[in-house]
Amino acid sequence: MIVGPTAVGKTVYAIKVAKMLDTEIVSCDSRQCYCELRIGVARPSEDELGSVKHHFIANRSVREPYNVFTYEQEAMERIHNLFNSHDIVVAVGGSGLYADALCQGIALLPDPTPELRAELQALPLDELQGRLKALDPAYFERVDKQNPVRLQRALEVIRMTGRPYSEVIRQTKMKRPFEIEKIGLYCQPHILRERIDRRASLMAEEGLVEEVRSLTPLRNLQPLNTVGYKEIFAMLDGTCTEETALSAVKTHSWQYAKKQMSYFKRDKSILWKEN
């Protein structure tokens, strides 16, 4: 499992490792899996994809609902199959939650109905807090009470299962039937920032604006709520210039990279390598 912040060089590194081990790559990336997103999510190039077999790159549409559990199910099945013909498989990705789901599993829970999600989404924060406090005081105690997404999610699960959220997610971590070695790629902050800026400029040259423009009809779908896309949509709305939008993409990518680092830093089993 290879993790690390955006633009640190995971793609190239993973390909190198996979070639050396004569195996294939399973991606854990919550955006590169969409076939409609290419330039803005830094999908590996045709050459790169051709040099080593990749799984879960551009394998589904932003139009279909997707989530980390579906990913975990599909990816685990794929990995089991790969282990029939390979001793080792390379996994790589910057989506910490997806990587975690692959390494240690995730609770089996029913999806909320669209009606339920819409119903809870309409509730004000204090109402969400009140309900969760009543239905699952233990989780209410430790959840981020200001975060509507967290509160909504817990209430969805409670409604779907009839059990407290804190109970259904307890002890869902499992040992996989294979050894996992985690490698974290990092580099000095100023170097990472340069790489992010350079990559964003490159995306612009490759036609990021056109890619985003062509996705305008789909812009309200969650997968389009993504760094590199939302800033360009704003530009197409006329709220800012292309130059401003591009510099926002750079800034937001940097912020994203820092969030990734703070997520990965918690995992003490990661072996860090400067790249």
Q: Which of 198, 258, 269, 273 binds RNA (CB under 7 A)?
A: 258
Q: Which stretch binds RNA (CB under 7 A): 13-21, 76-84, 110-118, 204-212?
A: 110-118
Minimum CB distance to RNA smaller for 96 or for 164:
96
Q: Is 88 in contact with 21 (CB distance < 8 Å)?
A: yes
Three-state DSSP class for 192? helix
How many residues at the interface with RNA, by CB under 7 A? 61
Q: How far is CA 9 from CA 4, 42, 182, 228, in A?
A: 8, 11, 16, 18
Q: Which stretch binds RNA (CB under 7 A): 23-31, 80-88, 175-183, 236-244?
A: 23-31
**Does 198 help bind RNA (rule: CB under 7 A)?**
no
> Sign of dihedral through CA atoms 23, 64, 74, 1?
positive
Place of tokens 């999610």: 153
**Does 31 help bind RNA (rule: CB under 7 A)?**
yes
Q: Which stretch binds RNA (CB under 7 A): 128-136, 211-219, 233-241, 258-266?
A: 258-266
Q: Which stretch binds RNA (CB under 7 A): 45-53, 75-83, 129-137, 250-258?
A: 250-258
Residues 33-92 close enough to bind RNA by CB under 7 A: 40-42, 66-70
Q: Which stretch binds RNA (CB under 7 A): 52-60, 83-91, 174-182, 255-263?
A: 255-263
Instruction: Please list, in sequence order, all residues whose beta carbon lies within 8 angstroms of the beta carbon of residue 204, skipping any fewer than 6 positions away.
Output: 242, 246
**Does 170 help bind RNA (rule: CB under 7 A)?**
yes
**Does 180 help bind RNA (rule: CB under 7 A)?**
no
Helix (H) or strand (E) run with residue 74 in it: helix 68-85
Name the β-bridge partners of 55: 26
Q: Which of 144, 179, 205, 274 binds RNA (CB under 7 A)?
A: 144
CA distance 245 to 14: 31
- CB-based burial label for 221 (10 Å; 0-12, 13-18, 19+): middle
Cα-based torsion angle of the residue sequence 130, 69, 32, 234 in order, rounded to the nearest 10 degrees: -20
Instruction: Please tell me what DSSP assigns to residue 94.
Output: S
**Does 150 help bind RNA (rule: CB under 7 A)?**
yes
Q: Residue 103: which of 272, 275, 274, 267 has the closest Cα?
A: 267
Place of tokens 């975060």: 147
Both tokens assigned to 122: 């309409």
**Does 242 help bind RNA (rule: CB under 7 A)?**
no
**Does 251 help bind RNA (rule: CB under 7 A)?**
yes
Q: Which of 1, 106, 192, 212 binds RNA (CB under 7 A)?
A: 106
Closest distance between RNA and the C-beta of residue 94, in Å? 6
Q: Which residues bind RNA (CB under 7 A)?
A: 6, 29-32, 40-42, 66-70, 94-98, 106-109, 111-112, 117, 121, 144, 146-150, 152-153, 157, 169-173, 189, 222-223, 225-228, 230, 251-256, 258-260, 262-263, 265-266
